[in-house]
Homo-oligomer: A and B are copies of this chain.
């Protein structure tokens, strides 16, 4: 599996919340994101290192879950190539007028039904005076509020059939599986895919409930692991539910903290220290059930809700 470089990076993600005010408080006061306009029932939010208009579209909804995921292509030609490839699969929905800050956008679904969008045109963010950074190689001033997340890092989707979706991202979008889990019966139960040097941008995890198009979590990167340790204190003092962590994943070696935002969606704070995938011939790492049974890197057992909680919730999911 080679890396095509037609998709540059994760642009933004739309998250649904049945608790829009509380979720907004979480993303602004707790994560330290900055509001950048609204669109009907949706609020645009940005991390401080995002050069684009927004990193997150927080949309009031009757339930939780994920709306669309937007990926930016590396050029107009790259976008056209990927659209052509998608159309050949029959998964395409069609061109749309882009939302705030974004040009023409091509919408489609992955095999599990998650809405994904591709775009090339993007208006660079121009901060207002009070958010102008001291260093001109930075998108906006550091907010100094809450966790201070730097970047939308990745999205982890729940899916009925992981490999079918991973194959789609590989074959059609030109991503590459850097790591995966294979069960004893040969089933692939999770796959991590990337488009550049970050070790993953999109992840598929097996949905044990057999539902479709659900969200496992959305992740934001912090500058340091210390930011994540402090984030855990902030979550604790502010009554935000900590599901598990801080700890280090064996897979991808990411330092992590998982919480539930007030709308019910699982949010990860992550930091890879200096890890990057530079090898052009990276060999997919396959973890076995036995290896996974050891738990996370330093021995923390994988929490049970990690296999059951997704959004929107299904009957029987108590959280």
Please list the residues of chain A having a beta carbon within 8 angstroms of any beta carbon in chain B: 2-3, 5, 8-9, 29-30, 49, 51, 72-75, 122, 124, 133-138, 141-142, 144-148, 150-151, 179, 196-198, 221-227, 229-230, 232-239, 242, 244-248, 250-253, 255, 257, 271-276, 278-281, 283, 285, 287, 291, 297-300
Given A134-B237, A297-B236, answer yes or no on A8-B225 (Cβ-Cβ < 8 Å).
no
What distance in Å separates the Cβ of A24 from its nearest Cβ neighbour in chain B?
Answer: 16
CB-based contact B236/A298 at 8 Å: yes
Majority secondary structure of chain A interface residues (helix, strand, loop or mixed): loop
If A148-B230, A196-B278 are given as contacts, then 8 extra A-B residue pairs at C-beta distance below 8 Å, sorted by A number, are: A51-B279, A144-B145, A144-B146, A144-B147, A144-B234, A144-B237, A224-B273, A236-B297
Given A137-B252, A274-B150, answer yes or no on A142-B233 (Cβ-Cβ < 8 Å).
yes
Query: In the complex this chain forms, how many copies of it are found?
Result: 4
CB-based contact B137/A251 at 8 Å: yes
CB-based contact A297/B196 at 8 Å: no
Give the docked Cα–Cα distance between A226 and B255 (Å). 12
CB-based contact B138/A253 at 8 Å: yes
Instruction: List, in ascending order, chain B residues with CB within 8 A of A232's CB.
Output: 248, 297-298
Q: Which 4 pairs from chain A and chain B are nearest by CB?
A: A223-B273, A197-B197, A141-B237, A9-B278
CB-based contact A8/B226 at 8 Å: no
